[in-house]
């Protein structure tokens, strides 16, 4: 019986450690997305998506595949100097899949600092040892504070 308790404690300790490591990877990916978007490094942003990823932007489109996502984000990036900020509310992992959910604020520079705000949900999976975005959804929910 004592062996079962020791084995159970070991499994729980390892899974807790794996979950913390996974959470750190998700945080790193999210921070990289924001940093590279704000620095206009589209190629670095696109590297964070799985080849078969799907994006569901707030306009109701369904954009499938890395190259289609690239084209959509390029048009969006070229439409104005848009700076993104996010506040993660929840992340979790189970093995090689995970998610990140929170709020975003977009500030459009040169347009009087106009802002859009909303919610996002990103599903991720480990692909060849690296975490990649497989689903990316965002919904504009309300004007940002002061708008």
State mean pLDDT over 83-93: 94
Residues in the chain: 147
State mean pLDDT over 93-105: 94
CA 71 to chain centroid:
18
State mean pLDDT over 72-100: 91
Cα 90 from Cα 103, distance rounded (Å): 10
Query: What b/e readout covers 42-53, taking b as 16+ CB neighbours within 10 angstroms?
Result: beebbebbbeeb
- 3.40.50.510, 3.40.50.2020, 3.90.1300.10, 3.10.450.50: CATH of 2-142: 3.10.450.50
Asked whether the predicted pLDDT for residue 18 surpasses 70, the reply is: no
Q: What's the chain's average pLDDT? A: 84
Q: How confident is the model over 107-142, as pLDDT tens digits?
A: 887 767 788 899 999 999 998 889 999 999 999 986
């Amino acid at each position: 019986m004592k062996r079962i308790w020791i084995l159970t404690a070991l499994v729980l300790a390892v899974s807790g450690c794996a979950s913390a490591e996974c959470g750190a990877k998700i945080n790193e990916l999210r921070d990289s997305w924001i940093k590279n978007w704000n620095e206009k490094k589209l190629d670095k942003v696109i590297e964070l998506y799985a080849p078969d990823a799907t994006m569901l932007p707030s306009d109701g489109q369904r954009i499938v595949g890395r190259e289609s996502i690239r084209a959509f984000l390029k048009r969006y990036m070229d439409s104005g100097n848009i700076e993104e900020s996010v506040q993660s509310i929840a992340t979790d992992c189970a093995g090689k899949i995970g998610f990140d959910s929170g709020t975003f604020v977009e500030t459009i520079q040169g347009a009087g600092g106009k802002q859009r705000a909303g919610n996002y949900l990103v599903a991720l999976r480990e692909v060849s040892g690296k975490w990649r975005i497989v689903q990316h959804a965002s919904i504009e929910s309300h004007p940002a504070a002061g708008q």
